[in-house]
Structure 1
Amino acid sequence: MKPHVVAAASLLLIALAATTAGAVTFNATDAASGTAGGQRFDQAVGLAYASQVLSNASTFIWSAFNQTSPADRKPVDAVTLVVADVGGAPAFASGDVITLSAPYVGNYSGDVKTEVTGVLYHEMAHVWQWDGQGQANGGLIEGIADFVRLKAGYAPGHWVKPGQGDRWDQGYDVTAWFLDYCDLLRPGFVAQLNAKMKDGYSDDFFAQILGKSVQQLWQDYKAKYE
């Protein structure tokens, strides 16, 4: 085949799935199909399913963040998932691109389809959440993303239990459970917190919404589970 025909055929094999929701396009590609992890992804998850998860997760997040209008959201027109032969974290989001680690998929012991689904809900939260114009600490950002994963029903068994952890902003599952506690005190708390984080960030946001400092809330939370 001619080089340009081969290249076109290769692109066709890689870019197999696209879904739309709310005028946003979601694409999924496997750039690691030649690796064990990429092959497991293709067999256990698949591009079409992953693309649909991106769409479903976005719809769920818009509801969880009370972003019913596109004007309330980040101006994102398309989100792309790339399965890549990279180590480190299970996945990471950079702007509107989510990279999923093929080695993580290949080495995961358990229901990998459910795990990937939960990971994608977490990463989609990063795509849509506000970060306080860069002022919010990383623990809170990760905690909100895991809160989304928790509320969507994809919290894995290896997470810490409610009440565990050393600091409210420890991040990930620790902060997710704490935010869930705050959200029970005032339903929609996380949505209000995220909305406030559009233009900046202060720990005082907790007191403004719930009437108590974040440190007092953390003490109350820990006391509940002692």
Structure 2
Amino acid sequence: MEEHHHLFQPLLSTTTTTTSAAATTTNEDEDIKFLSSDKAISFRLLSIIFIGLISIYANYEQSKGFDIIIINDIKDSPAGNRFELFYLSNDKATRILQNTSSFIENVLYPDTTTSTNHPKKQVRSVTLRLSTKNNLTRIFPTVDAPKSDEFVINISPSIIMGHSSNDNHAMVSAIQRGMARVWLWDGESRAPPWLVDGLVEYMSGLAGFGEVVRGFGGSSSWDNKDPRIVAQYLDQCEKNNKGFIRRLNQAMRQRWDDRTVVEARNLCDSKTL
């Protein structure tokens, strides 16, 4: 208050001039402090906005591609409780589904997914369901398609029962097979089951879940009923002709007919379909 009082003294007064200068300096210091405080507030606001943008982007990156829905049909059963505890409460099922999907996409489609030579299958949503369907086995899920771009992977409750260290291995293996069926073209549902099963088994083998069997006999294994043997033949074709699996998958994009089998065999020895 004293400084403000001196501001009203005659301008020619030496004391007034000195005091006025001091007051001016004080005001400038206060202005600097105010500006510094204002900058600090602005910086904090920008930091909050930046962190918010990062969070939004992270959520977008996590969810882009297709919607994921997890359903537990048997919540009150022992298997349902384990599924809830080990795969739903911590979003583990979602992460497994995302990781297996990325792996399959990299196998079947080139890096440039907009390539006109390798159009990518449209997948809008994937539902992972712990189901009570009667036709389920421990490691082989079924995949339903209510719509052309919506898929439901049904897995058996037996896959998570027990307390062995292999439980998670079995879960990942089953979801891996399910996602392979999701991303594979199937000749408008007319491709032979032995070929689709063989392709699924081939990709499971690439991911480390396959099983080597005896009985592989080169091209005679092409239409073998054992998907593991078909997978070995497909693997040999891919090794002999890089890109074979991708081109075969694209050949299955159109409606399947008997000529596709001949063309697929020729594709094993040629880089063009």
Helix, strand or coil at the partner of 1:136: coil
1:37 maps to what in 2? Answer: 79
Alignment of 1:34-113 (within 5 A): 34-46=76-88, 48-67=91-110, 68-69=112-113, 72-90=119-137, 91-95=141-145, 96-106=151-161, 111-113=166-168
Match of 2:264 in 1: 206
The TM-score normalised by the length of structure 1 is 0.73
Match among 110, 115, 126 for residue 181 of structure 2 = 126
Find the aligned partners of 1:55 and 1:26 in 2 and give their Cα distance.
9
Q: How does 1:143-162 map to 2 (within 5 A)?
A: 143-155=198-210, 159-161=211-213
**Greater strand proportion:** 1
Task: Pick the structure with greater CA Rg.
Answer: 2
- Cα separation, 1, equivalents of 2:247 and 2:64: 22
1:190 to 209, 223, 245: 245
Deviation of 1:185 (Å): 1.1
Aligned counterpart, 1:174: 229
Deviation at 1:110, TM superposition (A): 5.9
Q: 1:87/1:40 Cα in 2 relative to 1: closer, same or farther (>3 Å)?
A: farther
2:49 counterpart residue number: none
User: SS at the partner of 1:134?
Assistant: coil
Q: How does 1:23-34 map to 2 (within 5 A)?
A: 23-34=65-76
CA distances 1:108-130 after superposition (whole Å, capped 9, x unpaired):
96601111101111111111111
User: What's the offset of the Cα at 1:132?
Assistant: 1.4
Q: Distance in 1 between matches of 2:228 and 2:182?
A: 19
Q: Distance in 1 between matches of 2:168 and 2:103?
A: 19
Change (3 A) 1:208 1:178: closer
8 A contact 1:26–1:79 mirrored in 2 = yes
Judged with a 3 Å threshold, the aligned counterparts in structure 2 of structure 1 residues 211 and 99 are, in CA distance, closer, same or farther, namely same
Contact 2:72 2:130 in 1 (8 A): yes
| C-alpha displacement of 1:171 | 4.3
Which AA in structure 1 matches 2:264?
F
Provide the aligned length of Structure 1 versus Structure 2.
191
CA RMSD, aligned part only?
Answer: 2.7
- Quote how far apart the aligned CAs of 1:24 are: 1.3
Gapped regions of structure 2 (runs ≥ 5): 1-60, 146-150
